Structure 1
Amino acid sequence: MIDWARVCELRDEIGAEDFEEVTELFLTEVSQCIAALPAARTPAALRERMHALKGAALNLGFAALADICRAGERAAAQGDVHAVRPAEVLNIFNASMAAFESEVAQRFAA
């Protein structure tokens, strides 16, 4: 669900303090993007939102979220706007966030 190698790599790249800021920004950005999914009624709009979500998820190591976004992006590129279920995307995000929050402190304890 979480690509911990990517999480560690990102934290090493930007430092502990900036990592917390990036995490908060990620949460805000992804939450807004998921909330906007139902309004994406055209394949192009949906593909754009799924692409943005995928990129954010990959950046922070949210592998399961990136996978569903990749599939949604492909479906939208083929014109299928019904293949993406916003509730399913939200459920994967919430499960990923719970997994991330439960383990991140342990992994980076001083």
Structure 2
Amino acid sequence: MINWGRVEELKEEVGAEAFGEVIELFLEEVDEATNRIAETKDRSTLPDDLHFLKGAAMNLGFAEFAAICAEYERTAKTDGNDAPDIGLLVTCYAESKSIFMDQISGLNAA
């Protein structure tokens, strides 16, 4: 579910000192976008929101969540009538975030 190699790369890219702040900012932005998708019936911005989420998820190492976002983004761009399973998207993000937060303290200490 989490690509820990990517998480380590991100830590190296931003530096150990800034790592916690970067993670906090990413998660805050992903939380906002995920909540917006879950709470709105307006799907006009869905492809853009999914594209953003896909990129953020890839940066954070949320591999499964990124794959779902990529699939839904393709579907939203090619067939607006085929609504994505928003519940699955939200659940996958919540599970990914939970696993990530449980394990990240060890990476922050290293």
Q: TM-score, normalised by structure 1?
A: 0.88
CA distance in 1, matches of 2:2, 2:81: 27
Show CA shifts across 1:9-65 (max 9, x none). Answer: 0101111221111111111101110111134423xx211110000000001111111
Task: Percent identity, please.
Answer: 41
> Is the aligned partner of 1:69 residue 2:74?
no
- Report the RMSD for the aligned CA atoms in angstroms: 1.5
Aligned length: 108
4+ residue runs of structure 1 moved beyond 6 angstroms? none
The residue type equivalent to 1:98 in the other structure is S
> CA distance change for structure 1 residues 40 and 64 in 2, over 3 Å: closer, same or farther?
farther
Q: Partner of 2:99 in structure 1?
A: 99
The residue type equivalent to 1:47 in the other structure is P
Q: Is the 8 A contact 2:20 2:108 kept in 1?
A: no
> CA distance change for structure 1 residues 40 and 6 in 2, over 3 Å: closer, same or farther?
farther
Q: Partner of 2:7 in structure 1?
A: 7
| 2:43 paired residue among 36, 41, 44 | 41
The residue type equivalent to 2:103 in the other structure is E
Q: TM-score, normalised by structure 2?
A: 0.88
CA distance in 1, matches of 2:81, 2:106: 39
